[in-house]
Amino acid sequence: MHVKVHFRFGFTTEMHWTMITAAEYGDTSWELSVHVDQKDGDESMRFKLRVKGDLHIGGLMLKLVEKIKAPQDWSDHALWWEQRKCWLLKTHWTLDKYGIQADADLRYTPQHKPLLLQLPNMKTIKMVVSFSCVVFKVVTDICQTLNIRRPEELSLLKPPDDPSKKKKKKDKNSAQDIWDIDLPGGPGAYSKTMTATYDPENGMPVSATSLWFGENPLAGCLPNLPPAELAKIYQPLSLVDKAINNAGWLDSSRSLMEQDIQDEDKLLLRFKYNVFFDLNPKYDAVRITQLYEQARWSILLEEIDCTEEEMLMFASLQYHICKLTMSSEPLDHSNEPEIDEVEAALSNLEVTLEGGHTDRILEDITDIPELADSLRLFRPKRLTLRPYKEYWFVFKDTTISYFKNKETASGEPIEQFHLRGCEVVPDVNVTDKKFGIKLLLPVADGMNEVYIRCDNETQYAKWKAACILASKGKTMAYSSYKSEVRNIQSFLQMKSLAPPPGQAAPNLDSMEMNAECFVSPRYAKKHKTKQLTARILEAHQNIARLSLMEAKMRFIQAWQSLPEFGINYYIVRFKGSKKDEILGISYNRLIRLDMSSGLPVTTWRFANMKQWNVNWEIRQVTIEFDQNVTIAFCCLSCDCKVVHEFIGGYIFLSTRSKDQNETLDDELFHKLTGGQE
């Protein structure tokens, strides 16, 4: 008989195999065609086997391997039924039980295949994953490999088919950007060999990821994209766009193959459910970083709306995180500042005691640095028309005094400002060489507004840092003074701004960092760079002392407290309604929104839900709430399974508790989210 061998690139050869007569098998036998994928994936073959209906799958595979004759490890291969789109994994089932007949087109193919996985930080990695396990399990395995706890919060999203983006794919420049994660021990072995272990000191995973990456880039943040690049990705999103982008969540209870995912397809790994249980900087280095990245991108691409002030706050946090990540000597503010101070005083005191000058202890300890300089002053209230005037300024303790000139500094000052509790606002324009500090000094009957103008960056950094500390009641003796000065200086040296001559901006230079890359392109367009820098600078002083992890957590929390946070939008048609509407699903409620205005019409809380059911034939979701409220809708922008899984998933997540052990109750998850079969 003739057996056709198909090669992937289209040509076919015919080969002669041993002839098997039908008589050997009796009348009940029939011919089954099986297509074999080689492990390398570069060629495939087709075999025809004579089988009977009572042959079980295990036997079929044995037969097949014998026939292929190629010495190879076939252990990862399994049979896939093309027409039915299902795996034949139950090896003890017979062909009859599966309902396989001569017309079936079977494929003998590896269960593990490479997948291009875009992480929340927009980096793409190539990873070999199971195409035969349900997606829920696949995500759990991926997360274990990447060291992300609580995998039930993540899932895989199929990017929408965008014709405009297909062209971009062809230029293939993204190919170099892909990190190839080749798993030691071959496919299938990793879930057993990889157990997450954490460095006890910094909570970084030590074995798994660092094994492949050296220093674990997943726990570190990537630098922000240059504004031009960012603008290319950015596009304004309507609710409908958001609905389309969100339609592609894969079905957790089916495998990748069953959902038409091919090897080397690109999928997005994202935090899907917007409740993040027990985020712990100790164990969650990667999880927090990836969550921060997802949050950051959603802000930059305006997938979630925020106000200008919030945008600036997010920008300043990004700048801060970027800087801490990139700088070769990480600024560590994580130490308790109070302890710092005491310790500094302690060592100071120790030296003094050893020197034996016990009578001078007090002076030494209370020796607080002072600043004295010639600066210009402007008081809008008093002298509205008078310009800035030069005085001799002395900064001592938390008080600024000014004198007519240096010579009179020993006498009574003209005026004193007590900075405790005051607001310090930068009044800076680097390109114009304007380095001003605006002080808002609260007094019993209002605020005193004071403008102080410095001559240059260095002077500004010193005085501004002192003002910030003094506003919090701290003096320049405080341990963070120096780093505060450095912070201000490096901020002023962002790339878009002219670095001072002779003083090259440190390693930040390589980052292509400027103010515009920290805000959404729409926002960057609206404001001038100068303005933007000044305002980010202003927002930055509130957070300048956060450690890297604190800053990421702050970002995540601020993101979570945005009013529109955590809502996934879908286009639906409510029963009895004639127009398309938007359904928003959040962790605790469903929201019906008007499509044109985007305004909420009704809100139903999950807490009041009595039951929900899905009619899979007409793909309609019906939900019954307390007080006899029932709603029913069909999903237009996605499969109703997506919505069903969201509801069930959120209920599943609400069952988690801290004293539960860490094992994942996937059975319950499938109970709540499955149900189609």
The span from the CA of 346 to the CA of 364, in Å, is 11
Closer Cβ to another protein, 61 or 583, answer by number = 583
Closer Cβ to another protein, 70 or 361, answer by number = 361
At closest approach, how far in Å is the CB of 38 from another protein? 40
At closest approach, how far in Å is the CB of 588 from another protein? 5
At closest approach, how far in Å is the CB of 540 from another protein? 14
Q: 395 and 463 in contact (C-beta within 8 Å)?
A: yes
Closer Cβ to another protein, 177 or 278, answer by number = 278
At closest approach, how far in Å is the CB of 357 from another protein? 12
Let me know if 99 is exposed, middle or buried by CB neighbors in 10 A (0-12, 13-18, 19+): exposed
At closest approach, how far in Å is the CB of 272 from another protein? 16
Task: Say what the alpha-carbon torsion angle 449, 453, 457, 458 is, to the nearest 10 degrees.
Answer: -90
CB atoms within 10 A of CB 457: 19
Closer Cβ to another protein, 15 or 618, answer by number = 618
For residue 667 the two structure tokens come to 């059975």
Angle, alpha carbons 233-237-239 (nearest 5°):
150
At closest approach, how far in Å is the CB of 541 from another protein? 11
Q: 572 and 341 in contact (C-beta within 8 Å)?
A: no
At closest approach, how far in Å is the CB of 162 from another protein? 25
Phi-psi region of 421 (alpha: psi -120 to 50; beta: other; left: phi over 0): left
Closer Cβ to another protein, 29 or 252, answer by number = 252
Closer Cβ to another protein, 339 or 498, answer by number = 339
For residue 244 the two structure tokens come to 């389309």
Alpha helices in 285-403 (DSSP H): 285-300, 308-326, 337-355, 361-365
Closer Cβ to another protein, 510 or 676, answer by number = 676
Question: What's the N-to-C CA distance of the chain in angstroms?
Answer: 41
Please enumerate, as own/partner, the contacts of 606-610 that have beta carbons within 8 Å and a separation of 24 or more. 606/647, 606/650, 606/651, 606/654
Classify 198 as helix, strand or coil.
strand
Q: 81 and 106 in contact (C-beta within 8 Å)?
A: yes
At closest approach, how far in Å is the CB of 488 from another protein? 19
For residue 611 the two structure tokens come to 């039951």
Closer Cβ to another protein, 374 or 560, answer by number = 560
Closer Cβ to another protein, 214 or 563, answer by number = 563
For residue 676 the two structure tokens come to 């189609």
At closest approach, how far in Å is the CB of 252 from another protein? 13
